[in-house]
Amino acid sequence: FGSSPLAWAINQYGWHVVAWFLCVFTTMVAMAVLLFVRDPEKIGDGEAGSNGSYLALMKIPQLWRIFPLILLGYGVAAGVRGLWAGPILRDVYGYDVEAIGNVTFFMAVALSIGSLAYGPLDRLLNSRKKVAMAGNLVVLACSAWLATGLPASVTMTSILFVLIGFFGTSYAVLTAHGKAFVPVEMTGRGVTLMNFFAIGGVGLLQWLGGYVVTRQTVTGDPQAGYQALFMLYATTLALALLIYAFARDSRPSDG
């Protein structure tokens, strides 16, 4: 909704009406969750003991080979889709709100389809590591291309954005990879910790990206700051992939 449909709704009804609609709709969804969703039954003592602390999770060596890619992998796709696609399309290509909404809509669709596509691949290839490596290498290649200079064709830039969206959603596979090294009784906290890294990485890269774009923007050349942004993405993602290359694989066939 936060792309072409949102732009259309704002143009038709104004942002006040749209904001109130989203407020009411969100409240209704929250009430439905409160009324109809139930917690699962608690089994035993669960993770209440001191051995189930986050500190204990941080002492698992294999997780530290996965954390960097969880931290930085999704941040590229989320940063482009949520923050940078609009300014780039406006400043470099002169797109208006509706045209920007069309591109970000296709990127949002790619994010959704990519999340679903990653699901069966680890079982088909019997490897979570290979799937995550391959997908993030595509994101790295797209980021490196954009870092060398934004294409003259807005169509090519849009295609690269969509590819980043599709292949930049490997966090579910990475979470499954990390969960394989977490004791069963600590699964809940393990997944929570990995989600913290994934979402925290989005905020971190947006903050760093804003700093880089601000420092590198040149008057009369809107591309310079954005090229530096994608250089940041490519460099950090390459470092995360290098560390991840030393992680031990976890195969779905092993359970």
Mean pLDDT of 13-25: 91
Assign a CATH topology to domain 54-254.
Answer: Growth Hormone; Chain: A; (1.20.1250)
E strands, the chain, where?
none
- Residue 4, pLDDT > 80, answer no
pLDDT (0 to 100) of residue 42: 66
Range(s) within the chain of domains with CATH label 1.20.1250.20: 54-254
Beta bridge partners of 221: 218
pLDDT tens figures, 169-227: 999 999 999 999 999 889 889 999 999 999 999 999 999 999 999 999 888 888 999 99
Instruction: Report the residue count for the chain.
Output: 255
Mean pLDDT of 37-63: 74
pLDDT tens figures, 62-121: 999 999 999 999 999 999 999 999 999 999 999 988 889 889 999 999 999 999 999 899
Instruction: Write down the mean pLDDT value for the chain.
Output: 91
User: Please, what's the b/e burial string for 146-167 (b: 16 or more CB within 10 A of its CB; e: otherwise)?
Assistant: bbeebbeebeebbebbbbbbbb
Which residue from 74, 143, 76, 83 is spatially nearest to 115, judged by alpha carbons?
74
Residue 91: C-alpha distances to residues 15, 37, 100, 136, 164 (Å)? 23, 45, 11, 27, 20
pTM value? 0.84
